[in-house]
Amino acid sequence: MDPEPTWIAVGGLDHLLYVAGVVLLGALLVWRCEWVRERARPVRAAAFAVVLLPVFAWIADGWRPSRAGLRTAVGWFVMYVTGAVAVNALTGGNYFYQRERPVLPWLDQPWYLLGSVAVSLLLFVVGHAGARWIGARVDGVTPPPAPEATGASRSRDDAGAARVGA
């Protein structure tokens, strides 16, 4: 992998090809939804592989989750949910399981949607915190204890870095 990848410019050829590919894939999945349902097992296996990609990136390339990445992921999730709600209203679809509710089917809208989003956001934060915690242990970096836990106060040295116990 390239250690210093270049950014893809928004509106550039790479970006437009990516967006066109995503739109084409979405249209294909909607058009061939019965085909996808008939092949649920390999589709689930592919989705599972996508979930494992961060683990592979962690092992192979040293990638670690960041707060900026968490904010980006949450932003994309909010865009997905917004799009899913709009498409459901237009087509009668079941994106993000808002029509045929597998969990708490008696809960009415908008409470089911708000609860689904809240639980999803909680999972984002828990997953990120867990990954950071595991990463700190694997990398041998342990965060310093909170000042309240040690009874020490925080101060800043001449360079502006925080010091504990000063």
Please compute the mean of the pLDDT values over residues 147-154 and round it to a whole number: 50
Please compute the mean of the pLDDT values over residues 133-137 and round it to a whole number: 79
Res 155: pLDDT: 46
Res 160: pLDDT: 45
Q: List the chain domain ranges.
A: 11-54, 64-140
d(CA 41, CA 37): 9
Task: Give the number of other Cβ atoms within 10 Å of residue 128's Cβ.
Answer: 17
Is the confidence at residue 99, as pLDDT, over 90?
no
136 token code pair: 């700190």
Is the confidence at residue 33, as pLDDT, over 60?
yes
- DSSP state, residue 97: G
pLDDT tens track for 35-85: 777 877 887 787 777 777 777 777 777 777 888 888 998 999 999 999 989
Q: Which helix (H) or strand (E) holds 87?
A: helix 67-91
pLDDT confidence bin for 7, thresholds 50/70/90: low
In 3D space, the residue among 70, 40, 44 whose CA is nearest the CA of residue 131 turns out to be 70
Res 122: pLDDT: 92
pTM of the model: 0.53
